[in-house]
Chain A
Amino acid sequence: MMARVKPITTVAIVFFLVSAAAPLFVSSWATLFALILAKGIVVLGIVLLLQAGQVSFGHAMFFASGAYAAAFWGKFVGGGDILLFLVLGGVSSTIFGLIVGLFVVRYREIFFGMLNLAFSMVLWSLLEKMFRVTNGADGIRVPRPSLLGFSFTPETFQYVILYLSLLVAVAAFYGVQRYLDSPLGHMLRAIKSNETRLEYLGMSARRVLLAGYVISAFLGGIGGTLVAIIQQIATPEFAFWTKSGEFVFIAILGGSAHAFGAFAGAAMFECVRFYAAAHLVDSWQLILGVVLIVIILYAPNGLIGLRQRYGQAKQGGY
Chain B
Amino acid sequence: MADILLSAKDIKIRFGGVVAADGINLDVLEGESLAIIGPNGAGKTTFLNISTGYLRPQGGTVTFLGQDITAQLPRTITRLGIARAFQIPQLFLDQTVMENMLIAAASRRGNPSGFQALSALPEVPEMERLLDLVGVRAYAQRTAREMPEGQRKLVDIALALALKPKLLLMDEPTSGVASSEKLEIMDILTTALAKEKVTSVFVEHDMDMVERYAHRVAVWNVGKIQKIGTPAEVLADPRVREQVIGI
Contacts and interface: CB of A to CB of B under 8 A. Distances in A.
A182 B102 contact: no
Nearest to B144: A193
A179 B92 contact: no
Most-contacted residue by chain B among A183, A196, A199 (CB, 10 A): A183
A196 B54 CA distance: 10
B52 to A, nearest CB: 7
A201 interface: yes
Given A197-B159, A200-B78, A203-B107, A186 B114 contact: no
Interface in A186-232: 186-187, 189-190, 192-194, 196-204, 208, 211, 215
Contacts of B93: 193-194
A199 B159 CA distance: 13
Contacts of A196: 90
Give the interface size class of chain A.
20 to 34
A178 B163 CA distance: 25
Contacts of A187: 103, 106-107, 112
B53 to A, nearest CB: 9
B43 interface: no
B94 interface: yes
Nearest to A191: B92
A182 B52 contact: no
B147 to A, nearest CB: 14
A182 B118 contact: yes
Most-contacted residue by chain B among A186, A199, A201, A204 (CB, 10 A): A201
B56 interface: no
B86 to A, nearest CB: 8
A1 B107 contact: no
B113 A183 contact: yes
A181 B75 contact: no
A183 B94 contact: no
Given A178-B115, A184-B113, A187-B106, A200 B95 contact: no
A194 B92 contact: yes
B118 A1 contact: no
Given A197-B90, A197-B92, A202 B118 contact: no
Contacts of A183: 102-103, 106, 112-114, 116, 118, 121
Contacts of B52: 200
A284 B114 CA distance: 39
A185 interface: yes
B227 interface: no
Interface in B84-120: 84, 90-96, 99, 102-104, 106-108, 112-119
Contacts of B159: 197, 201
B79 interface: yes
Given A183-B112, A201-B104, A202-B79, A193 B121 contact: no
A181 B103 contact: no
B243 interface: no
Interface residues of B, number: 34
B57 interface: no
B156 to A, nearest CB: 9
Contacts of B75: 199-204
B32 to A, nearest CB: 23
A178 B114 CA distance: 7
Most-contacted residue by chain B among A192, A197, A202, A211 (CB, 10 A): A202
B74 interface: yes
Given A183-B116, A200-B74, A194 B91 contact: yes
Contacts of A208: 112
Given A183-B121, A200-B84, A200-B90, A1 B141 contact: yes
Nearest to B162: A201
B118 A181 contact: yes
Contacts of B121: 183
Interface string B47-91: 000001000000000000000000001110011000110000011
Contacts of A204: 75
Contacts of B108: 201-202
Nearest to B110: A202
Contact of A190 (B83, B95, B96): B95
Contacts of B94: 189, 192-193
Contact of A186 (B90, B95, B141): B95
B102 A186 contact: yes
Given A178-B115, A200-B52, A189 B107 contact: no
8 contacts: A182-B118, A183-B113, A183-B121, A186-B92, A186-B106, A187-B103, A187-B106, A203-B112
4 A-B pairs closest in CB distance: A183-B106, A183-B112, A202-B78, A201-B107
Given A201-B108, A202-B75, 10 more contacts: A1-B141, A182-B118, A183-B112, A183-B121, A185-B118, A186-B118, A199-B73, A201-B75, A201-B159, A202-B79
